[in-house]
Amino acid sequence: MTATGGPLAGVKVVELAGLGPAPFCAMLLADLGADVVRVDRPGAGGADDLLNRGKRSVQVDLKHERGPQAVLALAQEADVLLEGLRPGVTERLGVGPDQCWELNPRLVYGRMTGWGQEGPLAHTSGHDVGYVSLTGMLHLIGRKGGPPQVPANLLGDFGGGAMYLAVGVLAALLEARVSGRGQVVDAAIVDGTAHLGTMLWGFFGSGGWSTERGTNLLDTGAPYYDVYETSDGGYISVGALEPKFYAELLDKLDLTGKVPDRDDATKWPELRETFAEKFKQRTRQEWTEIFDGSDACVAPVLSMAEAEQHPHMAARETLVRRDGRVQPAPAPRFSRTSNPAPGAIAAPGAHTEEVLRDWGLPQDLLDSGAMHSAPR
127 is catalytic: yes
Omega of the bond prior to 332 within 30 degrees of 0, cis?
Answer: yes
Helix %, strand %, coil % of the chain (to 5): 35, 15, 45
Alpha carbon separation from 365 to 64, 144, 355, 360 (Å, rounded) = 11, 60, 12, 12
Cβ atoms of 38 and 178 within 8 Å: the answer is: no
The C-alpha atoms of residue 191 and residue 122 are separated, in whole angstroms, by 13
Burial of 247 (0-12, 13-18, 19+ CB in 10 A): middle
Rounded Cα distance, 133 and 117, in Å: 18
Across the strands, what pairs with 236? 228, 300
In eight-state DSSP terms, residue 104 is -
Give me the half-sphere count of Cα atoms (radius 13 Å) on the Cβ side of residue 57: 31
- List the catalytic residue out of 157, 191, 219, 226: 157
Residue 371 contacts residue 356 (beta carbons within 8 Å): yes
Contact 224, 249 (CB under 8 A): yes
Phi/psi for 112 (5° steps) reads -115, 115
DSSP 71-114: HHHHHHH-SEEEE-SPTTHHHHHT-SHHHHHHH-TT-EEEEEES
Pairing label, strands 235-239, 298-300: antiparallel
Pairwise CA distance, residues 361 & 344, whole Å: 24
Question: Residue 347: helix, strand or coil by DSSP?
Answer: coil
Give the C-alpha separation, 296 to 254, whole Å. 13
User: With contact defined as beta carbons under 8 Å apart, do 245 and 297 qualify?
Assistant: yes
Could you list the active site residues?
A: 127, 157
